[in-house]
Amino acid sequence: MLDFVADPVRPSPLGVGFYTAPEVARLLRIPAKNINRWLGGYQFSTGERDVEMAPLWEPHLPRGEKHLELSFRDLIELRFVQAFLKAGVSLRTVRHCIQLARAATDDDRPFSTRRFKTDGKTIFLESLTGANDGALLDLRRHQFVIKQVIERTFKDLDIEDDAVARWRPFNGKSSIVVDPKRSFGQPVTSRYGVPTIALADAVKAEKSEQRVAYLYNVSPGAVRDAMAFERSLLAA
């Protein structure tokens, strides 16, 4: 396990989760390059001039020397960005919605708040005109699209103290959780706290689910769910 030394200036990942871009990419099944662009910023040329795009938001943890370091809340925010882009919402509209939602929720990571769960549809639809996204103006006549995305994405999230506290990433089942207060936010079996990757790797080495269950003092069902979850990440 990684050892983190307390630093009076640098925030500790204890209790907030700790991920690199490739780790988040694995969990969300999206390219790491997208995460680096969205949270690291990027440049592009219009032919006449170079344009610099700022990050969608500043990551919770300070940037490492050569890579992003992300928290659990960053992970959940990225999950929402991914869901909206899949629904056909442009990145420009998502960017504008983040700005409005940040002001409405008084939170730098607004998508992962209780307020966004209840008022997200209104905030998002208000952002359409502000973003001047003509291709999406018909969403104002089909508000269920945004509503469904928000409801579906919150379905496997647990909220405490007005913010998302944990994610149940295995089809919403409670057997596996991503909780920033456990194993730095890596997926673990909820009952036993054993990382799913450790159980899956152990089965590969031992060639026996029953033996791994015995060695780790967990139920065979926990081993099977861990294996199925890890396989789902590989299949993405």
**HEC string for the chain:** CCCCCCCCCCCCCCCCCCEEHHHHHHHHCCCHHHHHHHHHCEEEECCCCEEEECCCCCCCCCCCCCCCEECHHHHHHHHHHHHHHHCCCCHHHHHHHHHHHHHHHCCCCHHHEHHHHHHHHHHHHHHHHHHCCHHHHHHHHCCHHHHHHHHHHHCCEEEECCEEEEECCCCCCCCEEECCCCHHHCCEECCCCCEHHHHHHHHHHHCCHHHHHHHHCCCHHHHHHHHHHHHHHHHC
Burial class (CB in 10 A: 0-12, 13-18, 19+), 44: exposed
Mean pLDDT score across all residues of the chain: 88
pLDDT recorded at residue 2: 45
Q: Residue 17 pLDDT more than 70?
A: yes
CA nearest to 103, candidates 91, 113, 90, 89: 113
pLDDT recorded at residue 140: 56
Q: Residue 5 pLDDT more than 80?
A: no
Contact indicator for 168, 177 with CB cutoff of 8 Å: yes
Position 120, amino acid: G
What does residue 189 show for φ and ψ, rounded to 5 degrees?
-70, 130
Q: Residue 198 pLDDT more than 60?
A: yes
Q: Residue 134 pLDDT more than 80?
A: no
pLDDT recorded at residue 216: 97
pTM of the model: 0.87
Q: What is the mean pLDDT of residues 55-68?
A: 86
Cα within 13 Å of Cα(145), Cβ side: 16
pLDDT recorded at residue 127: 76
Least confident among 60-69, 94-103, 130-139, 206-215: 130-139
Q: What is the mean pLDDT of residues 133-156?
A: 75
End-to-end CA distance of the chain: 27
Higher-scoring residue by pLDDT: 165, 63: 165
Higher-scoring residue by pLDDT: 236, 98: 98
Higher-scoring residue by pLDDT: 154, 92: 154
Q: Residue 185 pLDDT more than 60?
A: yes
Higher-scoring residue by pLDDT: 182, 47: 182
